[in-house]
Structure 1
Amino acid sequence: MAKSFASAGDLAAKEISFTEIGPDLWAFTAEGDPNTGVIIGDDSVMIMDAQATPRLADMVVERIRTVTDKPIKYVTLSHYHAVRVLGASAYGASEIIASDKCRAMVAERGQEDWDSEFGRFPRLFEGHESIPGLTWPTMTFATRMTVYLGKRRVDLMHLGRAHTAGDIVAWVPDAGVMFTGDIVEYRSACYCGDAHFADWGGTLDAIAAFRPAAIAPGRGDALVGEARVTEALASTRDFVDSHFRAVSQVAARGGSLREAADAVRAACDAKFGDFAIYEHCFPFNVARAYDEALGMDTPRIWTAERDRMMWAALQG
């Protein structure tokens, strides 16, 4: 292999922010690293996405304890990826909530995703020795579930396929705030290795229909106010559509994966090249877009071996 994955060299510590985006609603962000949402109710706390390791999750708990001493009762998983779920044990929650499809994806490909991510993004797995194993949801639902944190209502919803087939959002109606997981990003590349490109725009439309006053995205800064929310939704759509359009044109004429990558470079580097984790995501985005353009509806499972084979093919 001529060179390593871009993420293998991403070793610098990130500056953490803990931003209130609504009354008792917080976003833990770190310069393009995976975000965690915090929903504080009358009697308890819900976490949205758990971080990659208990050590990283402990950093979230430290921030939570600066604003509340209420017990953390729920950890909600927006999807199955290792960097989102493997820190769940640190919160001491009584329930871990996800979609039915998310739990099925943990069973189908959770260990493979963990091994794959660990091999190509070492910084996010510092303290991996403390991970007790795969994170298994204890409560699941098909399309919608409502949880009450005392009087505060939280609607958990599967609005459509996007970043994965099992994505969910958390909507807090009393504040008009949404926690979207990786369906929405802000100045960070979308990781599309498990994506459904053709469905993603419709899922963004479903989010926009709520007219959120604020969004905690999967990566990037918290988004407060209509202008920032609209900007992030449009940017995410442009990122996804630009990648898929470029690859689809190559696939339609029988072009190779390497040619698809060149087309994405031409279409996307100038617009998105300075986004966080752009180079990390690039090969996986091209490979999945190429598969979908050829009619493969269900994303292939990423393994450490497949990572290396795909990377070698892209480099010629």
Structure 2
Amino acid sequence: MNPSKKFASQADLEEKKVSFSQISEHAWAYTAEGDPNTGIIIGDDAVLVADTQATPAMAADVIRRIREVTDKPIKYVVLTHYHAVRVLGASAYAPQQVIASQDTYDLIVERGEQDKASEIGRFPRLFRNVETVPAGLTWPTMAFTGKMTLFLGKLEVQLLQLGRGHTKGDTVVWLPQERTLLSGDLVEFDATPYAGDAYFKDWPQTLDNIAALNPRALVPGRGAALVGEEQVQAGLAGTRAFISDLYQAVQAGAAAGKDLKAVYKEAYAQMAPKYGQWVIFDHCMPFDVTRAYDEATQYADPRVWTAERDRQMWEALEG
């Protein structure tokens, strides 16, 4: 570990190359080399956008790409979960409806303000145009529990809660007719899962529930779009392995009565050879291990991250 390691992603200033690609008849992926992705569904009469980018200025680039392929109105924005990098760009789309699970709505109420301050501190590059975010939080206009179905003309779009994982409110967008999934941060590809708000014990089962849909194409939360069953399975397997390996390492250390710092050093050493080259590995590990340690010891539910708690944790583990 490097004592001069910059807090969270503050050392990450390099511009990422954006890709915008069609992954099935009605679905498109906006990806940027491990930065947060956006999934787009172009239906018969309207467009649905899942995950909005961190600011309206960044969302403007997504809209520009959408407008290169369709002039249909962007009626729906879906929040796969509550994190600021996913939701604060929503206003740029001027959607008719902003849809989230009731669990995601509840998390915005409970910890949206703290999360916003925390994430802006962690990701200076993604929040560079933060002044373009309207005052206040991004609020859903519709909430659902379990399952909601939208019809964009004849195209059926299902919003599903398949279990807790990245957060308690995780929602996926599923096109049953073309077996295409927008997973949010439940699935990552060659990018480190952020697990500061996670349910480690539930996440592998939730991934199995995704696998049971047998998707043919998938837009992960970060990393390249996955096309073909083989690539999709690889993305699911990689995410599942990371979550399981990390929790196993932390659980073992906690069971042996070791403190968080000792457990962190051991878990980092165990994980780095296999996952260290994944995007944002160094950024995520302190948050991930802290949450895993919490879950393995005394906190069934994730504690609220504040900008101050971020700093204290970083200092304790990396200082």
Question: Do they superpose with TM above 0.5?
Answer: yes
Which one of the candidate residues 298, 302, 306 is aligned to 2:301? 298
Query: Given that residues 52 and 87 in structure 2 are in contact (C-alpha distance below 8 angstroms), is that contact kept between their aligned partners in structure 1?
Result: yes
Q: Alignment identity in percent?
A: 54
Which one of the candidate residues 63, 66, 69 is aligned to 1:67? 69
Aligned pairs (5 A) from 1:176-215: 176-215=179-218
User: Structure 1 unaligned runs (5+)?
Assistant: none
Aligned pairs (5 A) from 1:1-316: 3-132=5-134, 133-315=136-318
Superposed displacement of residue 296, structure 1 = 1.0
What does the per-residue CA deviation read over 1:132-164, in whole Å, with 9 as the maximum and x for residues that have no partner? 131000000111000111110100011000000
> 2-side partners of 1:114 and 1:11: how far apart?
20
> 1-side partners of 2:152 and 2:27: how far apart?
12
Secondary structure of 2:232's counterpart equals helix
TM-score (norm 1): 0.98
> 1-side partners of 2:8 and 2:109: how far apart?
28
> 2-side partners of 1:5 and 1:243: how far apart?
21
Superposed displacement of residue 295, structure 1 = 3.3
Residue-pair matches, total: 316
Write the letter of the residue equivalent to 1:88. A
> 1-side partners of 2:200 and 2:144: how far apart?
24
What does the per-residue CA deviation read over 1:175-216, in whole Å, with 9 as the maximum and x for residues that have no partner? 110000000000000000000000000000000000000100
Secondary structure of 1:66's counterpart equals helix
TM-score (norm 2): 0.97
> 2-side partners of 1:125 and 1:186: how far apart?
23
> 1-side partners of 2:289 and 2:87: how far apart?
25
Superposed displacement of residue 2, structure 1 = 5.4
User: Structure 2 unaligned runs (5+)?
Assistant: none
> 1-side partners of 2:191 and 2:117: how far apart?
23
Moved over 6 A (4+): none
Write the letter of the residue equivalent to 2:36. P
Query: Given that residues 268 and 285 in structure 2 are in contact (C-alpha distance below 8 angstroms), is that contact kept between their aligned partners in structure 1?
Result: no
What does the per-residue CA deviation read over 1:69-93, in whole Å, with 9 as the maximum and x for residues that have no partner? 0000000000000000000000010
Root-mean-square deviation (CA, aligned residues, Å) is 1.0
> 2-side partners of 1:24 and 1:248: how far apart?
43
Greater shift, 257-266 or 284-293, is seen at 257-266
Write the letter of the residue equivalent to 1:309. Q
Secondary structure of 1:122's counterpart equals coil
Write the letter of the residue equivalent to 2:204. G
Superposed displacement of residue 6, structure 1 = 4.0
Secondary structure of 2:304's counterpart equals coil
Secondary structure of 1:34's counterpart equals strand
